[in-house]
Amino acid sequence: MSFQAYLDAIEKKTGLTPRQLLDLAKKRGFDGPSVKAQEVIAWLADDYGLGRGHAMALVSVIKNGPVVPTKHVGTTGTHRDESETLWLDGIASKP
């Protein structure tokens, strides 16, 4: 599953766009490269019922911003994406 597909699935499950979840994460102090993944995983599981894989996709965005590692762009691997930049503003507004 691509990183973007994980984010889209998170939106479908929670009703919140990735950007809205990032804003909520920041309010909780989950912001930047030093964030502890386990804390974010626990929050997303408790509040939204998200599993580890989906939560880790959001952790990646919290730590690194909306950038897909180039090794996954245009490949045939498991986490392949078409673009280096993730869309955070919701499925309905995706260009």
C-alpha atoms less than 13 angstroms from C-alpha of 27 in its C-beta half-sphere: 7
Residue with tokens 């912001």: 31
Q: Print pLDDT tens along the chain (95 aa).
A: 788 889 999 999 999 999 999 999 999 999 988 999 999 999 999 999 999 999 999 999 999 899 876 766 677 766 666 777 889 999 999 98
Model pLDDT, residue 68: 75
Model pLDDT, residue 67: 85
From first CA to last CA, the distance across the chain in angstroms is: 20
Smallest CA-to-CA distance from 27 within 4, 10, 47 is with 47
What is the pTM (predicted TM-score) of this model? 0.86
CA dist., res. 61 & res. 68, Å (int)? 9
